[in-house]
């Protein structure tokens, strides 16, 4: 199955087949929502809460760019989400707005989040495990003390390796982090803010299928996984922008890691992103499929060359692509005697 038309894509996404395709990936909220729900007034929110992921966003009276502005919500403010509506598209790819207590906020810069507290697992920490942040954000500290110097702010769905658990003077557990933020033993975060990722959650998907490949359509900003010629997952993507374009061509999976601290750019373009979830690398220049928590703007080019997807989709690709990576591997390279899953990146436009 070399390609899929836009009409077939929408038919597939609107059919019962879609549920089967998406069932391995809980929480996917960016699979052609605009086309599928355009006729509805208000839909359930993707999550109960949303975090402002940029310097500030406008809260407006209606889901329109020029409706009355109520206020500005600043970076890291956590909004309660009451629903989502199809309104005026601020960007051509995205007409989704979230209804908040004060009005409507465009979804591009609101990260859907939850606020889940976890029971500490100090015994498990002694053996080391991968964990993900389950609160809107958590401030890591230089020592296991809420008054210690802040190291970095960590965000919902970011992933790190927990290497130790320490109890503070108030009998509260803290986890010490390493990979995904530092090469050696690093900062501490409250243990309640991290959920241990069980090894069963990272086992291979469809390990017996030999005919697997991925198609990335840069024109449509979609990524599609195929098994034996049939699409098994379709998602929107945010590819490279401008000079930082995602290189077209046929690539293969070169390496994987459950978490990476990604840095780059200069001046106003500088970025430092800890705990980027589940990168699957496919070029020597470190282009990867990976989760993105710093925006909610999938469907248009905006990255530094990588393929941004939501965190659950990134984990799905990490598990589904070959070769399979063991749970304990910090970075797993494709062995010399093996071939990674093919990733075809094309500029072709999907036909009507």
CATH number at residue 273: 2.40.440.10
Q: In this predicted structure, what is the pLDDT of residue 56?
A: 97
Beta carbons of 181 and 263 less than 8 angstroms apart: no
Residue 271 lies in a domain: yes
Last residue of a domain, one of 135, 163, 197: 197
Last residue of a domain, one of 197, 221, 256: 197
> 23 pLDDT band (50/70/90 cuts)?
very low
Taking residues 43-70, report their average pLDDT: 97
> 340 pLDDT band (50/70/90 cuts)?
very high
Query: What's the CATH code of the domain at 139?
Result: 2.30.30.40
Of 270, 115, 97, 108, the C-alpha closest to 190 is: 115
Q: Is the peptide bond before 323 cis (omega within 30 degrees of 0)?
A: yes
Q: Are both 279 and 227 inside the same structural domain?
A: yes
Last residue of a domain, one of 140, 168, 197: 197
Residue 205 lies in a domain: no
> 348 pLDDT band (50/70/90 cuts)?
low
Residue 148 lies in a domain: yes
**pTM of the predicted model, to two decimals?**
0.88
Q: How many CB atoms neighbour CB 13 within 10 A?
A: 17
Residue 92 lies in a domain: yes
Question: Would the pLDDT of 14 be above 90?
Answer: no
| DSSP strands (E only) in 109-158 | 110-113, 129-133, 137-141, 150-155
Residue 344 structure tokens:
């075809």
* pLDDT, the chain, mean: 90
Q: Are both 243 and 126 inside the same structural domain?
A: no
Q: Are both 126 and 105 inside the same structural domain?
A: no
Query: In terms of residue numbers, what domain contains 330?
Result: 212-346
Question: Would the pLDDT of 68 be above 70?
Answer: yes
pLDDT per position as a tens digit, 230-271: 999 999 999 999 999 999 999 999 999 999 999 998 888 899
Of 155, 157, 193, 187, the C-alpha closest to 173 is: 193
Alpha helices in the chain (DSSP H): 6-13, 17-22, 33-36, 122-127, 311-320
Taking residues 332-349, report their average pLDDT: 92
3-state class (DSSP) for residue 114: coil
pLDDT per position as a tens digit, 74-103: 999 999 999 999 999 988 889 999 999 999
Question: Would the pLDDT of 10 be above 80?
Answer: no
Tell me the HSE value of 215 on the side-chain side, using a 13 A CA sphere.
Answer: 22
Q: Are both 237 and 341 inside the same structural domain?
A: yes
3-state class (DSSP) for residue 7: helix
In the chain, pLDDT over 90 holds for what percent of residues?
Answer: 83
Q: Are both 192 and 233 inside the same structural domain?
A: no
Residue 330 lies in a domain: yes
Q: Are both 253 and 322 inside the same structural domain?
A: yes
Residue 256 lies in a domain: yes
Question: Would the pLDDT of 3 be above 90?
Answer: no
Beta carbons of 40 and 88 less than 8 angstroms apart: no
Residue 217 lies in a domain: yes
Which of 2-16, 86-100, 157-171, 317-331 has the least mean pLDDT? 2-16
Q: Are both 104 and 126 inside the same structural domain?
A: no
Q: In this predicted structure, what is the pLDDT of residue 269?
A: 87
Q: Are both 175 and 134 inside the same structural domain?
A: yes
Residue 325 vs residues 47, 79, 254, 280: alpha-carbon distances, Å: 30, 37, 11, 10
Which of 18-32, 74-88, 147-161 has the least mean pLDDT? 18-32
- For 103-131, letters b (16+ CB in 10 Å) and e give bbbbbbbbbbbeeeebebbeeebeeebbb
DSSP class of 240: B
Task: Please state the domain count of the chain.
Answer: 3
Beta carbons of 296 and 107 less than 8 angstroms apart: yes
Beta carbons of 28 and 235 less than 8 angstroms apart: yes
Q: Are both 65 and 186 inside the same structural domain?
A: no
Q: Are both 165 and 284 inside the same structural domain?
A: no
Q: In this predicted structure, what is the pLDDT of residue 60?
A: 98
Q: Are both 216 and 237 inside the same structural domain?
A: yes
Q: Are both 103 and 135 inside the same structural domain?
A: no
Of 251, 313, 276, the C-alpha closest to 30 is: 313
Q: Cα–Cα distance between 163 and 185 in angstroms, integer?
A: 8
> 193 pLDDT band (50/70/90 cuts)?
very high
Q: In this predicted structure, what is the pLDDT of residue 319?
A: 98
Taking residues 185-200, report their average pLDDT: 98
Alpha carbon distance, N-terminus to C-terminus of the chain = 17
Q: In this predicted structure, what is the pLDDT of residue 123?
A: 96
More reliable by pLDDT, 25 or 42: 42
Q: Cα–Cα distance between 266 and 272 in angstroms, integer?
A: 11
Residue 221 lies in a domain: yes
Beta carbons of 36 and 12 less than 8 angstroms apart: no
Q: Cα–Cα distance between 251 and 160 in angstroms, integer?
A: 27
């Amino acid at each position: 199955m070399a390609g899929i038309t836009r009409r077939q894509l929408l038919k597939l996404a609107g059919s019962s087949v879609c549920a089967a395709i998406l069932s391995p990936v809980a929480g996917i909220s960016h699979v052609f929502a605009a086309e599928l729900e355009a006729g509805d007034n208000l839909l359930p929110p993707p999550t109960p809460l949303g975090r402002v992921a940029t310097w500030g966003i406008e809260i407006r009276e209606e889901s329109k760019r020029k409706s009355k502005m109520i206020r500005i919500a600043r970076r890291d403010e956590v909004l309660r989400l009451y629903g989502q509506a199809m309104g005026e598209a601020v960007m051509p790819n995205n007409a989704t707005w979230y209804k908040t207590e004060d009005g409507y906020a465009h979804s591009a810069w609101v990260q859907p989040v939850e606020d889940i507290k976890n029971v500490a697992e100090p015994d498990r920490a002694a053996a080391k495990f991968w964990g993900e942040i389950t609160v809107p954000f958590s401030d890591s500290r230089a020592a296991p003390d809420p008054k210690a110097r802040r190291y970095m702010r960590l965000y919902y769905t970011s992933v790190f390796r927990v290497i130790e658990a320490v109890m503070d003077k108030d009998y509260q557990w803290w986890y010490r982090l390493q990979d995904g933020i530092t090469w050696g033993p690093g900062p501490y975060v409250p243990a309640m803010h991290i959920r241990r990722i069980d090894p069963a959650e990272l086992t291979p998907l469809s390990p017996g299928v030999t005919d697997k490949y991925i198609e990335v359509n840069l024109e449509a900003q979609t990524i599609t996984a195929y098994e034996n010629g049939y699409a098994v997952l379709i998602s929107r993507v945010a590819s490279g922008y401008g000079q930082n374009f995602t290189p077209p061509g046929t690539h293969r999976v070169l390496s994987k890691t459950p978490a990476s601290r990604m840095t780059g750019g200069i001046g106003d373009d500088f970025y430092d992103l800890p705990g980027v979830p589940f990168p699957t690398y496919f070029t020597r220049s470190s282009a990867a499929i990976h989760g993105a928590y710093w925006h909610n703007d999938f469907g248009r080019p905006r990255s530094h060359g990588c393929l941004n997807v939501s965190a659950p989709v990134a984990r799905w690709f990490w598990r589904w692509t070959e070769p399979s990576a063991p749970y304990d591997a910090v970075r797993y390279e494709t062995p010399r005697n093996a071939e990674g899953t093919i990733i075809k990146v094309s500029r072709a436009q999907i036909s009507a």
